[in-house]
Amino acid sequence: MPQRKISNQNDCIESSYVPLSKKILKRCESNDAPFFSVEFFPPKTAGGANNLISRLENFRQLGPLFADITWHEAGNPAGDSPTSSITIAGIALNYCCLNTMLHITCIGMKRDKLARCLERAKSLGIRNILALRGDKNSKDDDENCDFHYAIDLIRFTKEMFGDYFTIAVAGYPTTHPESESKESDLLHLKEKVDAGADFIITQLFFESKVFFQFVSDCRNVGITVPILPGILPIQSYDSLEKITKISKLTIPEQIIHDLHPIKNNDEAIRNYGIDWTIQLCREILLAGITPGIHFYTLNRQQATVSIVKALNLAVTTPMKPLPWSTSANYRRCNETVRPIFWSARPKSYVCRTNTWDEFPNGRWGHIDSPAFGSLNDYYMFLEPKKKKEVLLKQWGLEINAEENVWEIFHCYLTGNPNRHGICVDSIPWNDSSLREETGIIIDRLAYFNSKGILTINSQPNVNGVGSSDPIFGWGSPDGYVYQKAYLEFFINEQMAHELLRILEGYDPRVNYLITNQRGDYYESNCLEDGQTNAVTWGVFPGKEIIQPTIVDSVSFQVWKDEAFDLWFSKWGKLYSKESNSYQMIKHIHDTYYLVCLVDNDYPKETCLWTILEQIIH
């Protein structure tokens, strides 16, 4: 089975949005390697939601074609809470960069309520739904609702939104528990397809012959849309019993026989489930009757990841369309330019720009600072959560001097344990771990951080490296990428004034922006407001030059407020306001300066290190 080499992110960068239905049809018509997709359900707590976001981001690295989020009726699925179905789906789409499908069940719904749900999904950028009837609760539901079957939901969606949504429906290989017969079940499924369903995802099954027969039966009644097998990796004996009881599914005797001796050994059952699922999927894929596999993950990661990798369904050599993760939201399909300041905090940037009607394409243009939204509680929910005790051990149980802070930055870069013997795996200005390219300059960064030049963003200079380079590469094959050396850091007031004096000898080679927290000090030799300095660009066959990362003074002023605020909102809040530790963080927040430097002479060895040496000596 061929390995996948190109990430699905490339589907959303060329020129215009490609609906999920067309992507799946394209896979059916081509000889491309099969894809995989995944299902998750909304957790019950905000902490659980935060953990789920981490799993979604981990799965994104494997390159699923889409992820779907179930409709949890008891959890106010259309609400604004962190655990609602529609909130989780919006986060998966906009912040985890996953093409997302939202389950919607219609039983018990009135037209106006369903319309609001669909409008809300549309407002978030969601363009895929799985249309389901849902479980009947009482006769009262049946009498007072406007929708009784999934076909009613499909027709209503088509009536209100035309072809805006790609619509999937559920198929039952072993027949729906409430169906009169297999034949009537297939006819109802065909009616849903005829009403506008674009493809089918089956409910779970455990034997390939069941799926083969179902596909054959569907084709015999005139159903021609793609059919994806829904696969559940067996992960524990209890969960298997519970799920099969709910779905009224008969477990094959072979599985019952094999699991009974190990039913109290979760690890053994999980390994058995992985092996069984790998074999099942191989049989299905070898038959060539489906373009991909859909996995019911139960919000767990290990088993599905193992299966996906064993089947070579995961992206092995991802090509990044741009240096940053491209969004799955159709509104951002043509977005090709971002300021470099948020490169380590991409979720923050997405949050602050999610109300924009248009996104920069080809050039940054003139964007006023009021166009950037605020960082509200919605964004804070997205950030990785660590217990206060963990952060205190990493960032300092006590901060008695500026040098204590310098040490934390140094430990973060080197991986060395801090004075408490604890590894520092994050700082407030980075959403995730260090980028690979940082490794090229890590020793120099670590040295200068130990001297009080506290770097929060950087990139080395690059001169015509191939676009397929594993560290610096991005964009189309056979291209070349370029970078200007860039450094962004905090320094104390004395260093800032010394730096400004030194920079007089490097104009115009080095552009700089220097400001303090209050904003009453600002120095720059950059161009006028509204003009930009491209710090990353690429040259590709048959295309215009792409300049995806820029520096501009207006965005810098917006970013500086966020950058300074992180001293308090992330670090300072760990200590009581009366403590020496808090006062030291406050001192740095109030008196340090934020600096960014760009060395425009990218073909030469950068002069930025020389400048920093002059500051400290």
Active site members: 39
DSSP three-state, residue 29? helix
The answer to whether residues 238 and 266 touch, using CB atoms and an 8 Å cutoff, is: no
* Strand intervals (E) in 229-319: 230-231, 292-296
* Strand intervals (E) in 216-368: 227-228, 230-231, 292-296, 338-339
Q: What are the distances in angstroms from CA 409 to CA 69, 391, 417, 495, 590?
A: 38, 14, 11, 17, 19
| 38 closest CA partner among 284, 306, 232, 241 | 232
Work out whether the CA dihedral 273, 274, 279, 285 comes out positive or negative: positive
Whole-angstrom distance, CA of residue 536 vs CA of residue 521? 28
Residue 45: CB atoms within 10 A of its CB come to 10
Whole-angstrom distance, CA of residue 562 vs CA of residue 38? 35
- 614: amino acid identity, one letter: Q
Whole-angstrom distance, CA of residue 263 vs CA of residue 511? 66
Chain Cα centroid distance, residue 262: 37
The answer to whether residues 40 and 67 touch, using CB atoms and an 8 Å cutoff, is: yes
Tokens of 178: 């409430």
Q: Are strands 100-105 and 128-132 parallel, antiparallel or unpaired?
A: parallel
| 101 closest CA partner among 210, 172, 21, 47 | 21
402-414 and 580-591 helices, crossing angle to 10°:
80
* DSSP symbol at 545: P
The answer to whether residues 482 and 536 touch, using CB atoms and an 8 Å cutoff, is: yes
Q: Which region holds residue 519: left if phi is over 0, alpha if psi is between -120 and 50, else beta?
A: left
Torsion of CA 167, 172, 173, 175, to 10 degrees: -150
